[in-house]
Structure 1
Amino acid sequence: MRRGFAIFCFLMTAGQAQAVDSSAIQRMTDVAHLWSDVKWLSPALASGEIDWDQALVDALPKVEAASTPAAFQDAVTALMKPLHDPAFQIFSINEPNYVSEESSQEVLEWLPGDVALLHLHRLSSMRVTTGELHFEAVTAQLAARAKGLIIDLRPTRESASYGYGAEFPDELIANFIDQPLLLPSNRYRYHTGFQPEIGITSGMYFSASLMLQTSRLMPVKGGHAIPMVFIVNQSNRVPLSALALQRAGKAWILAEGQASAAWAVPVRAITLDDDGKTGMNYSVGELIFPDGASGFGVDASVAPDSASGAGSPAAKAALKLIRSGVRPGGATVYEKTAAMPVRQLVSLSSELRFPSLPWRQLAVIKLWSTMDKFFPYLAYTDRPWDDALPEFLARMKTVSNSREYAQALAEMAAKLDDSHVWIQGPERASLYGEAPAGVRLASVENRIAIAEITDQELHKNAQVKVGDVVLAVDGEDISQRISELKKITSGSTEAARLRDVLPNLLAGANGSVAKVLIEDAGGVRHEVMLPRSDAFWKFWKARRSGAIFKILPGNIGYADLDRLALKDVDAMFDAFKQTDGLILDMRGYPNGTLWRIAARLNVKGAQFGANFSRRIATALPAEQGSLNTFRQSMPKSDKPLYKGKVVMLIDQSTQSQAEHSGLFFEAATAITFIGSPSAGADGDLTKLVLPGAISVSFSGQEVRHADGRQLQRVGLQPDIKVTPTLDGIRTGRDEVLERAQAFLQAR
């Protein structure tokens, strides 16, 4: 997310109205980034009990109305309040509290009662320059004399610049404990891919709470326990060993300045203004003790002071704690945390079709956030996805009914350029058309032609013929109608986008009539009236007829993978075992047959058929922005391999599992692709739910060729390019299949 939230004051003149609106949209955009990060990372949301959507809806009007930095900070505070996040704070970004370092200052100072004051910044810097010897000498002095130990963790400006580490106290502490010390750990939320909010997916995405492995600090031989105090401030993390000792009643924690849980738990820090003067912390992980409890507190505090010697306020307060007899950690509240994350379920049924403005803005933010975190193909979109967020936040202020609202979301989703993106909801029929006419259309030679007549009445009266070209519908030029539908139709390629537009091109109200201007084979134009019926939807998908698999002239096997059932794969190969070549017609969608077919084709002995990756959302430092990647194994078969030449027919209808078939087949054998490029959309579907009973599907993970080549938005590319012609569909020829037969017969 952006690390600076822009704050602009409202301008009062009419000529500056646009600037006023843009500043409000910018504030909402910045808050959307914050809300998104918190949604996926905050441990407070792991229980599923907080309605984070409602929190945003309540805060957005305040964010939009905020005319001053203070008002904006109040709005952000209101948003974060339901989390009860102990690390949340908005603060002024000032110079860190560095302690001064006198060149004559010793690493160790001795206070009354043989209490040692250890200046860790001095010891650490010496360790960097002189190695282990000085460190070991100091440890030996402490072990021999110290009856109490004050460890000053506050950095100097110099030591902060090279980042001395909090691991040093653990080596010291091992000398001053008499039993093993089990340290607390940090727990993070972890999401690999997006679990569908409705429906199912084959992606096996999951969310989890991931607790890091902790350590058990063992006492050194001859070690003995002594009381300890750790002096900390906002410039350093409180060591886990200090927290464990405090919990065990063995050490106090003394804070310089106002203590915050942000010193102990994993946090994310951002700036709230472009000047970098105001900052904010919030939790992205939680501190967990061995018994499952969580909590942080300090035993005492002192005002910031640069002094660090024996007479400093911090040293005096630390010595007072050692002499107090008060048990360490007594002021800290330790609470048990949820043992497991709980998924918050989402319902479609209770949503209003036209939500109020904050809920509409939430829909934009939720759609943006989900894709920003999990959509695997953001790098391939035509426009940066971040641009969609302010654009459609502003758009939601202008929509006036449920149809315009749904259209805005459809246009936003279409910018993902993924043919797996599909909008469903109450207004879908009004946007795309309720019922089609009784013809199936195809894009042929850059024209829209009738490829099949599905209305039997039209067959009888011969108003239209296969191969007739559509020029207009209901008085609107067909190119204009295509352009309008493309705005709300996502497509990995232009051919795939047009493919999904075609079913809706002549659609309208069920029972109505489409007035269509057509041009016949002789160039004559005339209007026809085509009845619309939702019963025609079942005929829209092209289906080939005849035998599902057969032997063609020239001893060539042919299989229609759009219709071939899994149970018939072995019978097909038995029938084709003596053929010289095999045509696999994958212009359509398979029935789960690819793995069994690939196993019978694997003459290359390939081990893998495809590469997968899904995005990870977590605050774990080593995992941020990373991918969960794996290779999909090639299945095995104990049946004979097919060793003849293999061709696969493809076009824009070849998508997802159909393209996946191509990946496995090419890995298994020397395959030749014939036809036109496939759709370029692979990776199983997952779905999210938006206000207004709207669901959006999208590709949940990236799929690549086994050799690593990109598939999304590229598709399977034909080795021999062949596309249908108007003359071909008018005469009933399958020119792609004919070219495949000619290719195999010529070899």
Structure 2
Amino acid sequence: MPRSTIALLLSAILALPAGADERQVNTLAEATSPAQASYDYAQTVRNEVRASLKENPDRPSLEQAAQRLDQLAAWLDTPLPRELGTGSRPLYFRGVDVQRDLAAIHVRLGNTGKALDALETMQRYAWLGEAGAMVLGDGAFAPLRGEPRFQAILQITSTPSRMLKDFGADSPYRERLSVEERIAGLTQFWSDAREYFVHFDNAPQLDWNKTYLEFLPKVMAAETTFDYYRVLMQLAPLLRDGHTNIFAPQELQERFYARPPIVTELVGDTVMVIAVNSTALAGRLKVGDELVAVDGVPVKRHAEEKVAPFVSSSTPQDHALRTYSYQLLSGDAAEPVRLTLRDSAGRLREESVARGPQDLSKYEKFGFRMLAGDVAYLSLDHFDSDEGVKAFTKALPQIMRAKGLVIDVRRNGGGSTAHGERILEHLTRQAIPRAMSFMRGASIVAGHQARLVAWEPVARSAPAHSSDGDVYEGPVAVLTGAATFSAAEDFVLAFNALERGATIGATTGGSTGQPMNIRLPGGGWGRICIKRDLLPDGGTFVGRGLKPDIEAGPTVQSIRKGGDPVLERALAHLKGLR
């Protein structure tokens, strides 16, 4: 640790308020940075205060809790934590939390004046807008609602809801939007990206100002809301980020996003049908059919002209997946799509296929099974919920007895990183590594001539540790592909950093982060990636993807034979480790 960091840590430790125990000091000294140390300390005190007030505390307990929070608030307002807070948003906002906690305790004590003082002090840190309205609408502050000072606090808190409100917030769907609304929607997305987007470096040739001027006459000329969104949805892809998109209103979903119940994929240089998810179509379309043309247009030209302009993607592999799998056949539900197909014998035919729901699935989500050689296999198809964690936990007794484990995240499009960590906790006794995360700080005008972008670290919570329960210590292989995305990539990067086993398959999608949602005129919405993630060692993977240790993938022949070369390669790898 650099001497300057040690000096700051010592200063922070010396600045601890009276009553800090040895454990808190040790926690602070072991932290990776002074800002993180200060954040962790403030959270520890808050958690201890909350724990002390769980069961109908008496007045002395409430007064003691208020005293501890007063001390913490005073400490947060001393020069060192205040300075550290300028570069750490999570630490800075602990001031908001402490004043809110303090106000709630004073309400319980009947100290109306002190409660209002704390809420007014909270305004010095931030005007919280909708979040503040939710906080102050809590039942804890019901006794204050008749107070003029409290009403003034509510009014100030609501300021961001007025000054920063999305142009689309009060604009419901209509078949035609005014030209002012159309311009406002373009301006909203463009300006929010200009201020918050974190991956402009992945689109180095993009002139964002010029782009705005080019789109302005297009949105002005788009008379219907359908035409407007057809123009607007081509804006986000220019930023080259899979977490940055524009979506049409619900009322237009069936015109833009309806798909036939089949799955296609670019395999080498060939577009293949890899799944038919409809009973009615099963006799007409076959897995292994080659898709030659769409509506009479050669499939590659159709993809380039009709699909690619609407594809928001971070990497070439992400772009290919979205273009040839997710979006290739999207369109109006009322219009069937005409497919030109070539079967395994080389015979050409045409099929008219309706865009509509699927009624047949070819695989079991979160499927678990034991494979040859006593190898356990589990697919983790998403991290949107804890379904995968439950499936892993249910299978854990069998996994513990297995001679090898394959975890398949090839179809995992992400969700919550925490769900992946709960699985990794059963594969290691080490702390789970995490991505390094940053957000954009304020643009700085240097000498009134140059604008800078400062990166503000996002404080990370304490690392997850291995489970107190069973930990599988046998060989592990993780299967990856271009559809391994977002939180699934967080899972893979942690697995790699742990050096727990091999990854096998194809490079991941190369896109993770935290999007900010934007309401657009006519009921549409957009999102912009505002969190920049790096590998635990500082390396880059967004815009590149995580390469597997062993490359493997499907072929035209393997698809037609129903094989899985990636899984077969993983089994061979695990067998070779014995």
Displacement of 1:341 after TM fit?
Answer: 6.1
* Structure 2 CA distance for partners of 1:670 and 1:435, relative to 1, 3 Å: same
**Higher strand residue share:** 1
Q: What TM-score, normalized by structure 1, do the two folds share?
A: 0.51
Among 502, 522, 547, which residue is 2:345 paired with? Answer: 522
Which residue of the partner structure matches residue 422 of structure 2?
Answer: 596
1:473 counterpart residue number: 294
Is the 8 Å Cα contact of residues 614 and 627 (structure 1) preserved in structure 2? yes
- Going by fraction, where is helix more abundant, 1 or 2? 2
Match of 2:117 in 1: none
Partner amino acid, structure 2, of 1:692: G
> Identity of counterpart residues, as a percentage?
24
* Gap runs ≥5 in structure 1: 1-189, 194-202, 211-287, 293-335
Q: Match of 2:229, SS? A: helix
Closer/same/farther in 2, CA of residues 456 and 740 from structure 1, 3 Å limit: same
AA matched with 1:690: L
The 5 Å alignment of 1:162-561 reads 340=157, 342-344=159-161, 345-346=165-166, 347=169, 349-350=171-172, 352=174, 354-384=176-206, 386=208, 387-426=210-249, 429=252, 433-459=256-282, 462-483=283-304, 484-501=306-323, 502-533=325-356, 535-536=357-358, 544-545=363-364, 548-561=367-380
- Post-superposition shift, 1:473? 1.9
Separation of aligned partners in 2, 1:577 and 1:435: 43
Q: 2:482, 2:509 within 8 Å by CA — same for their partners in 1?
A: yes
- In the alignment, residue 730 of structure 1 is paired with which amino acid? R
Does 1:723 pair with 2:553?
yes
CA contact (8 A) 1:598 1:668 kept: no
State the partner residue of 1:567.
390
Moved more, 397-406 or 521-530: 397-406
Q: Call closer, same or farther: CA 1:206–1:379 in 2, change over 3 Å.
A: farther
CA contact (8 A) 1:191 1:208 kept: no
Q: Per the alignment, in what secondary structure is the counterpart of residue 443 of structure 1? A: strand
Quickly say closer, same or farther: Cα 1:504–1:666, change in 2 above 3 A: closer
Q: Deviations over 1:29-65 (max 9, x none)?
A: xxxxxxxxxxxxxxxxxxxxxxxxxxxxxxxxxxxxx
Q: Could you say which residue in structure 1 is the equivalent of 2:522?
A: 692
After superposition, the C-alpha distances for 1:629-649 in whole angstroms (9 at most, x for unaligned) are 334543122124322222110
Deviation, structure 1 residue 620: 10
Deviations 1:319-342 (A, max 9, x none): xxxxxxxxxxxxxxxxx9975463
1:740 to 542, 550, 570: 570
CA distance in 2, matches of 1:558, 1:467: 25
What TM-score does the superposition give when structure 2 sets the normalisation length? Answer: 0.65
2:281 counterpart SS class? helix
Structure label with greater radius of gyration: 1
Q: Distance in 2 between matches of 1:205 and 1:674?
A: 42
Partner Cα distance (1:523, 1:688) in 2? 48
1:463-518 superposed Cα distances (whole Å, 9 cap, x missing partner): 22111111112222222221121101111122222322334323443354322111
Amino acid at match of 1:343: P
- Contact 1:613/1:702 (CA < 8 Å) preserved in 2? yes
Contact 2:233 2:310 in 1 (8 A): yes
Per the alignment, do residues 430 and 482 of structure 1 end up closer, same or farther by CA in structure 2, a change over 3 Å counting? Answer: farther
What amino acid maps onto 2:456 in structure 1?
L
Amino acid in the other structure paired with 1:682: T
CA deviation digits over 1:355-383, x for unaligned, max 9? Answer: 33343333222212211211121211253
| Residue pairs, 1:27-42, within 5 angstroms | none
Matched, 1:628 2:450: no
**Contact (CA 8 Å) 2:431, 2:464: kept in 1 or not?**
no
CA pair 437-720 structure 1, distance change in 2 beyond 3 A: same
1:612 aligns with 2:437: yes
The residue type equivalent to 2:160 in the other structure is R
Structural mapping, 1:59-78, within 5 Å: none
For structure 2, list consecutive stretches of 5 or more residues without a partner in the other structure: 1-85, 98-119, 125-151
1:450, distance to aligned residue in structure 2 (A)? 0.8
What is the SS of the residue equivalent to 1:559?
strand
Indicate the residue corresponding to 2:71 in structure 1.
none
Q: How does 1:656-675 map to 2 (within 5 A)?
A: 656-675=486-505
**How many residues are treated as equivalent by the alignment?**
423
Assess if the C-alpha contact under 8 Å between 2:254 and 2:333 holds in 1.
no
| Structure 2: distance between partners of 1:456 and 1:602 | 44
Paired AA for residue 297 in structure 2? E
Q: Counterpart of 2:402 in structure 1: which amino acid? A: T
CA contact (8 A) 1:601 1:668 kept: no
User: Do 1:562 and 1:591's aligned partners in 2 also have CA atoms closer than 8 Å?
Assistant: no
Instruction: Tell me the residue number matched to 1:705.
Output: 535
Is this contact kept in 2: 1:558–1:585, CA < 8 A? yes
Assess, with a 3 A threshold, how the Cα gap between structure 1 residues 497 and 734 changes in structure 2: closer, same or farther: same
Which amino acid is 2:433 matched to? F
Instruction: Give, as a single letter, the amino acid of the residue that structure 2 aligns with 1:739.
Output: R
Aligned 8 A contact 2:249 2:525 in 1: no
Q: Residues 372 and 205 of structure 1: is their aligned pair in 2 closer, same or farther, counting only changes over 3 Å?
A: farther
**Maintained 8 Å contact 1:419/1:681:** yes
Provide Cα deviations, 1:110-165, integer angstroms capped at 9, x if missing partner.
Answer: xxxxxxxxxxxxxxxxxxxxxxxxxxxxxxxxxxxxxxxxxxxxxxxxxxxxxxxx
3-state SS of 2:522 partner: coil
- Residues 543 and 369 of structure 1: CA distance in aligned 2, closer, same or farther (over 3 Å): farther
The 3-state SS of whatever aligns with 1:450 is strand
Superposition deviation, residue 719 in structure 1: 1.2
